[in-house]
Structure 1
Amino acid sequence: MGQHVIKMPDLGEGIAEVEVVAWRVQPGDAIVEDQVLADVMTDKATVEIPSPVHGTVIALGGKVGESLAVGAELIRLEVEGAGNAQAAPPPADEPAEVPHGFVPEPARVAEAAASVAQAAPAVAPPPSRPARAPAPAPRPALRAAGEKPLAAPAVRKRAWDLGIELQYVAGSGPAGRITHADLDAHVAGRGRAAGADGRYAQLEGEEAVPVIGLRRKIAEKMQLAKRQIPHFTYVEEVDVTELEALRGQLNARYGEERGKLTLLPLLMRAVVLALRRFPDVNARYDDQANVVTRYAPVHMGIATQTDAGLMVPVVRHAEARDPWSSAAEIARLADAARHGKAARDELSGSTITLTSLGALGGIVSTPVINHPEVAIVGVNRIVDRPVIRNGGMVARKLMNLSSSFDHRVIDGMVAAEFIQAVRSYLESPATLFVE
């Protein structure tokens, strides 16, 4: 038997190191060729690293959250034959039988928290306090929904003072009536003199959560964007009554064969048309070279929330897509991003970004520009509001666009004129389909 070392491969695009975000195997596991060993994250995407050989895992090359340089040892296997490496001696601070770098899954967060605590400057420890037993889970209601518990006024007042919901107290009196003795028993059974139902229970404890993987990349990207880019945000109100009416008509007529349209693909089309008049907005700024690159194609980034964090998949050549093609591509990319299947080139190369929180969009937002782009268009929620039109008050569907711009590249007047152009297309939606 020999040992085979799998090194961190070169993933291209000038990537010098990656971050380990998940191990798919652990020491002692028998693996086969092409089995995924680990998930690593580059600046742009999560990549699966497969095994080129059969073997048994001896040791892992790092912990979750650690960075590995290209060419560094990723994993060590025991294989048939001579292998490609000599046996490595066990680390000095670990017994030989414990493979170096292996961290059981349940221990990873605790270990990261401990390392943070060790790295922190020494401070005086807080005063010791008695340990608290964890609060028991709330009891299920003893009565059906809507059934009023029976209790005398004095019992009800005392329960209120103690913070007890009578719905959760068993009554020992006639017809299940709750007595003072029942309150005492309830309090004693829960181990607290007040707040026995958990409403006002005092809580203790804290949890250190290491910032790794995509969350770390998001933090670094946002920090870079806010540090490098002098943002300014411009907000404009848009009347989308006619747009929503047209969208409803298109969905009723073409929804079955072409798919349902949301607001987003129509907004994409409005942005594409407005960019023809304001090409400086469809650009990227190289901070080091002081060069602004304007793009003829519109590669539209779509900010997408996933379980792992915010991603920005890219709809390429949005200028060449009708609303149904855009809608289908948005849905495909969003699904790939949420399931961790988006390719690296699907998460990079955008020239302008749209961001929307849908029904949670609020009234106004201040979106952060997707560096190195120079503009981001944010969509707030649609609300019905009274509007004066032709001397009378009518209800209209209104929506704000909250958009941010790089003030090094985009002057305030240009930004305002660009958003007004987008607004004109949205308020006269037939123009979205007229070249």
Structure 2
Amino acid sequence: MGALPEKEEVTAAPKARALAKKLGIDLAKVSGTGPGAMVTEADVKAASEGKAAVPAPPIPVEAPRPEARPEEKAEARPAGQDKYGEIERIPIRGVRKAIAKNLIASQKTAAFVTGMDDADVTELWALRKREAKVAKEKGVHLTFLPFFMKAAQHALAAYPSVNASVDEKAEEIVVKKYYNIGVAVDTPEGLMVSVVKNVEKKTILDLAMELQELSIKARDRKITLEELKGSTFTISNYGTFGGTYATPIINYPNIAILGTGKISERPWVVDGSIAVRKILPISFTFDHRIIDGADAARFVNRVISYLEDPGRIFIESA
């Protein structure tokens, strides 16, 4: 004789089971209207009254809408607007695209470190003021930048490892024996780095004249590609726009950049006494893969020494 088939287990809510037991209802004979045909308390009550419970209506499910085509999405709101208000879209191309590409390459390659310091340029301030009259007679507007360039060039000569680039493929440091200093120039297209070649062979006035010419060319969009190439070191003189300290990005493939801020009057200790002096904020970003922190500090101190004692920088001799 075969074994009797097992009685199929009925799915029922706990309250439904309790009520069925109380009323003597066989759950196996009750049609469930709950999820997955589960017997509910209402089903048991209906069975005791000889009625069939009415199943709850299914929850309506909204049919998925077809994905809008790209052109339909673009037409969802007027051009020049997002959901918050009016916008303007400016294509990244031309000079701006080239600038972005170079800055990204620099940040992806170099190990950036920035140090900040100050220089007492009170004497330099007075010197430039005097020599500006001489320059004006020659049709030249003499700013502080030629002095910064000459100070940097002398410091680079003392610390040649800063005047270098990296040959990534050959894994070599390429030390340059010439001094081509790039200078960031503000133009309608963005910052351009104009390059003054062979700074070591030029006087302060030579540099001032060349900077003046390059600046005009850059702003008039007449500068040549050759005048934007070949830098061995860069100076960003953001003090012209009121900035103080910054973390300037290295102009790849250079391995360092000097940032000069706005000169302002500050209290300063001179020979044990407080005096009001002209102070220049300095920021120096370098590639720590190539330049050690100690050498970076020595280089900046050398630059400061020239700026604080400008008599060491000759006005009309290279």
Length-normalised TM-score, structure 1: 0.53
Kindly indicate whether the alpha-carbon contact (under 8 Å) linking 1:313 and 1:347 is maintained by their aligned counterparts in 2.
yes
The residue number in structure 1 matching 2:189 is 308
The residue number in structure 1 matching 2:91 is 210
Kindly indicate whether the alpha-carbon contact (under 8 Å) linking 1:299 and 1:350 is maintained by their aligned counterparts in 2.
yes
The residue number in structure 2 matching 1:341 is 222
The residue number in structure 1 matching 2:39 is none
Kindly indicate whether the alpha-carbon contact (under 8 Å) linking 2:236 and 2:260 is maintained by their aligned counterparts in 1.
yes
The residue number in structure 2 matching 1:420 is 301
Where does 1:36-435 land on structure 2 (aligned, <5 Å)?
118=70, 204-257=85-138, 259-433=140-314
Note closer, same or farther for the CA distance 1:207–1:416 as it changes in structure 2 (3 Å cut): same
In proportion to residue count, which structure has more helix? 2
Paired amino acid for 1:235: M
Kindly indicate whether the alpha-carbon contact (under 8 Å) linking 1:258 and 1:324 is maintained by their aligned counterparts in 2.
no
Q: Percent identity?
A: 36
| 1:277 shift after superposition | 0.9
Structure 2 CA distance for aligned equivalents of residues 295 and 256 of structure 1? 36
Paired amino acid for 1:314: V
What SS is found at the alignment partner of 1:221? helix
| 1:219 shift after superposition | 1.1
Structure 2 CA distance for aligned equivalents of residues 330 and 254 of structure 1? 13
What SS is found at the alignment partner of 1:381? coil
Paired amino acid for 2:140: G
Note closer, same or farther for the CA distance 1:410–1:393 as it changes in structure 2 (3 Å cut): same
Kindly indicate whether the alpha-carbon contact (under 8 Å) linking 2:135 and 2:205 is maintained by their aligned counterparts in 1.
no
Paired amino acid for 2:124: L
Structure 2 CA distance for aligned equivalents of residues 295 and 395 of structure 1? 40
The one of the two structures with greater contact order (alpha-carbon pairs below 8 A, sep at least 6) is 2
Aligned length: 245
Structure 2 CA distance for aligned equivalents of residues 228 and 208 of structure 1? 30
Structure 2 CA distance for aligned equivalents of residues 317 and 258 of structure 1? 22
Q: Alignment RMSD, CA only?
A: 2.6
The residue number in structure 2 matching 1:152 is none
* CA deviation vs aligned residue, 1:44-91 (integer Å, no higher than 9, x gap): xxxxxxxxxxxxxxxxxxxxxxxxxxxxxxxxxxxxxxxxxxxxxxxx
Structure 2 CA distance for aligned equivalents of residues 321 and 118 of structure 1? 59
Length-normalised TM-score, structure 2: 0.71
What SS is found at the alignment partner of 2:173? strand
| 1:313 shift after superposition | 1.2
Paired amino acid for 2:311: A
Structure 1 CA distance for aligned equivalents of residues 181 and 70 of structure 2? 44
Which stretch shows the higher mean deviation, 245-254 or 296-305? 245-254
What SS is found at the alignment partner of 1:216? helix
Structure 1 CA distance for aligned equivalents of residues 272 and 107 of structure 2? 45
Deviation above 3 Å: which 4+ runs of structure 1? Answer: none
Kindly indicate whether the alpha-carbon contact (under 8 Å) linking 1:269 and 1:432 is maintained by their aligned counterparts in 2.
yes
* CA deviation vs aligned residue, 1:296-329 (integer Å, no higher than 9, x gap): 1101111111101121111000110000000111
What SS is found at the alignment partner of 1:260? coil
Kindly indicate whether the alpha-carbon contact (under 8 Å) linking 2:258 and 2:285 is maintained by their aligned counterparts in 1.
yes
| 1:406 shift after superposition | 0.7
What SS is found at the alignment partner of 2:138? helix
- Gaps spanning 5+ residues in structure 1: where? 1-116, 135-202
| 1:209 shift after superposition | 2.2
The residue number in structure 2 matching 1:191 is none
Note closer, same or farther for the CA distance 1:222–1:260 as it changes in structure 2 (3 Å cut): same
Structure 1 CA distance for aligned equivalents of residues 143 and 164 of structure 2? 26
Rg larger for: 2
Structure 2 CA distance for aligned equivalents of residues 345 and 254 of structure 1? 27
What SS is found at the alignment partner of 2:85? coil
Kindly indicate whether the alpha-carbon contact (under 8 Å) linking 1:367 and 1:402 is maintained by their aligned counterparts in 2.
yes
| 1:334 shift after superposition | 1.3
What SS is found at the alignment partner of 2:116? strand
Structure 1 CA distance for aligned equivalents of residues 200 and 269 of structure 2? 36
Kindly indicate whether the alpha-carbon contact (under 8 Å) linking 1:231 and 1:406 is maintained by their aligned counterparts in 2.
yes
Kindly indicate whether the alpha-carbon contact (under 8 Å) linking 1:240 and 1:397 is maintained by their aligned counterparts in 2.
yes
Which stretch shows the higher mean deviation, 257-266 or 275-284? 257-266
